[in-house]
Amino acid sequence: MTNYLLVDFGSTYTKLTLVDIDKCEILAQTKNITTINEGIMVGYKSALKKLKEQFKKDIVFEKVLACSSAAGGLKMISIGLSRDLTVEAGKRAALGAGARILKTYSYELSERDLDEIESLNCDIILLSGGTNGGNYKNILFNAKKLSSRNLKIPIVVAGNENVREEIEEIFEKEKIEYYITENVMPKVNILNADPVRNIIREIFMNRIVQAKGIDTFRDYIDGIFLPTPAAVLKAAELLSKGTKDESGIGDLIVVDIGGATTDIHSVSKNKLKDIETRFEGLEEPFAKRTVEGDLGMRYSAISLYETVGEEKLKSYLKINSEIYTSCKIRSENIEMVPKSKEEYLFDEAMAKSAVELAIKRHSGKLRKEYSNGRYIYYQKGKNLRDVLTIIGTGGVIINSKNPKEILSAVENNKDSLILTPKTAKYFSDDYYILSAMGLLGMLKPNESIKIMKKYLKWSCD
């Protein structure tokens, strides 16, 4: 028996999953409140004690792997030249690395911008701008502005590679901590996200973990430490693509409905099958993550109410309820667990509203123009129309008696020009294993895929 312990330090709970690698089985799972203030090891040790009591045997861990979204997760700022191009490219790369984007800035930074950047308390600044051989003045200007504040924040430089040496001189002179990698947009509309993601992960492991007090756990783990959203995206990509030894299941979407955000992870091809299109704007990655900070079940309950509107929430409710009051109660009681039938139904109405809007924001759009006797279609953003597998995770999904009803809100789109799924098969992550399987997949991809296939079989059919 080869046991791996997989640990997820969440913003609310620290979750432990014990797996038998040889049999590809989950042996035990426990959780405990994440104890950032008292020290993260307090909550971990309490969860570990529960795990040992549940397992009722002596446990030897071959490996211990961990991810974290505690203490606000990985918080980043993206700075670029054009909002729709280099800024957006940087934002997508950062989101794919598991970050939470606090703010984006385009063109030249002002003194007011710099004041705001200092006040945001971010973990990493991503500085981009200009294609290789293209505009170089903007990134140099912003590098000088950033260096003038002597920021104690690591800066990842992923812009026009023709001015690397000048940027190095600027940051070296002011003793700024910086990391230079490949241009996140080397050519117009071409996304080059992987080098940026790798650097962000390196900084997260070596610096951010220590800054958040999680470094006390470093002696217990075996070299893998990821932001939790990056672990989920890794799991989704593995399950979709498979390996040479273990087949994947094809294009899929993961819907993660949390207290503060609704995250959508899509792993899919971008080409439409039924019509010929011309692409506009920045290319879409095969594995994409978006985060909707105004669509949450607890922290963001009021902003969800304000964003989707009372009529939308009413349309999903099967009972009479004071809608604003119910959202306010949840925003003021972030650890609230529904107990009555009415509370469950209200949570599900919130979740359906969040899913419907989040998937529309994640999806691409078509526009059509009539020319020379025929329509020409232009596509901007990602095509999800042909995705057939939807996997739901998050407390409201796992605790629902009918998760399919929540997840099928991805199909609630009457606009034929928005590229949301048309029909799909639905699964729920009943064992909360996606982040754990993303971690496991870093070392044991075949076993990770086998376990996901085995434990995600609780479909919503």
What mean pLDDT do residues 20-35 have? 88
pLDDT at 70: 67
Express each pLDDT in 326-374 by its tens digit.
Answer: 999 998 888 888 889 889 999 999 999 999 999 999 999 988 887 777 8
What mean pLDDT do residues 118-147 have? 92
The yes-or-no verdict on residue 191 having pLDDT over 80 is yes
How far apart (Å, rounded) are the C-alpha atoms in residues 221 and 205? 12
The yes-or-no verdict on residue 316 having pLDDT over 70 is yes
Tell me the C-alpha to C-alpha distance, in Å, between residue 99 and each of 163, 320, 411: 26, 38, 28
3-state secondary structure of 349: helix
Confidence tier at 459 by pLDDT (50, 70, 90): low
pLDDT at 224: 66
Both tokens of residue 387?
Answer: 């995705």
Express each pLDDT in 238-289 by its tens digit.
Answer: 999 999 999 999 999 999 998 888 999 999 987 777 677 788 888 888 999 9
Express each pLDDT in 114-129 by its tens digit.
Answer: 999 999 888 899 999 9
**With the CA atoms of 404, 439, 206 and 87 taken in that order, what torsion angle do they form, in degrees rounded to the nearest 10?**
-40
Query: How many other C-beta atoms are found inside a 10 Å radius of the C-beta of residue 112?
Result: 8
How far apart (Å, rounded) are the C-alpha atoms in residues 456 and 443? 20
User: 393 has which bridge partners?
Assistant: 256
pLDDT at 98: 83
CATH superfamily assigned to domain 3-71+212-223: ATPase, nucleotide binding domain (3.30.420.40)
Decide: 458 and 28 in contact? Cβ < 8 Å. no
What is the distance of C-alpha 243 from the center of its chain? 23
Decide: 98 and 227 in contact? Cβ < 8 Å. yes
How far apart (Å, rounded) are the C-alpha atoms in residues 193 and 443? 22
Q: Decide which of 108 and 413 is more confident.
A: 108
Sign, Cα dihedral of 235, 236, 241, 242: positive
Sign, Cα dihedral of 36, 38, 42, 47: negative
Q: What is the mean pLDDT of the chain?
A: 87
Please state the pTM of the whole predicted model: 0.88
Decide: 323 and 308 in contact? Cβ < 8 Å. no
Q: 74-204 adopts what CATH topology?
A: Rossmann fold (3.40.50)
How far apart (Å, rounded) are the C-alpha atoms in residues 434 and 382? 23
Percent of the chain predicted with pLDDT > 90 = 48
